[in-house]
Amino acid sequence: MRIAAVTGSASGIGAAVRRRLERDGLRVVGVDLRGAEVVADLATTAGRAAAVAGVLAASGARLDALVACAGLGPHVERWPTIVAVNHFGATSVLAGLRDALAKGERPAAVAIASNSATLPYADGPLAAACLAGDEAEASRLALASDGHTAYAGSKLALARWVRREAPAWARAGIRLNAVAPGPVRTPLLEAGLAHPLYGPAIRDFPVPTGGPGSPDDVAAAVAFLLGPEAAFCAGSVLFVDGGTDAMLRADRF
């Protein structure tokens, strides 16, 4: 049986990805703060190491698929934690499990980025610090900014990390891609909508197809990128956002 690991597997998009992969016949090793085979906090260095070690132990150090889904929204008040989970947690798990993927059958990995990564304020010193691997500086910059900047910057850095790493991963036989969702009806989105500052901004974010998507919409895109029909996709960032990115950046792709 093929084996997949999914971070953030206990709720939202991660839970939908888990259900989809299990429906497709994979055994899933989940990673989350609770309610998963591997319980670990990706906001910390020790938690990331525990996540990698736990997945290796549960999978026999061999994976066929990996989805880095765990993430925090802009409403989380401790802004450095957003960066710690969204970028450093994701990239640490991806890098830490690369060798296990190299032993798998048609191995592929997907990171969950965001269409917020294309917003103008995402591309700045915070994203640059993330890509330089300087977590202390990225944390400092996040603390001095706001939730929107921390979220968008960390997701931009994650998408760029995927793009930069994908060619080398492909040469090693592993396809690495990303999905960039727009607003999706999850507990994370609901918490953001309830926030007095960030709620109105989230509501005003235009979605041409008419409103938030479902976790299953994103899970379907992830399943495609992990599957054989996406064999020629490497370093792709697939927008699953109801047309928002196309509307805002029609001439940039």
Catalytic residue numbers read: 151
Interhelix angle 215-226/12-23, rounded to 10 degrees, is 50
Helix residue ranges, H only, the chain: 12-23, 45-59, 79-83, 90-96, 98-102, 125-131, 135-143, 147-171, 187-193, 198-204, 215-226, 244-248
CA quadruple 74, 250, 124, 68: dihedral, nearest 10 = 50
Distances (CA, A) of 128 to 158, 222, 226: 11, 26, 28
The string of DSSP letters for 43-65 reads TSHHHHHHHHHHHHHHHTS--SE
Residue with tokens 């969950």: 112
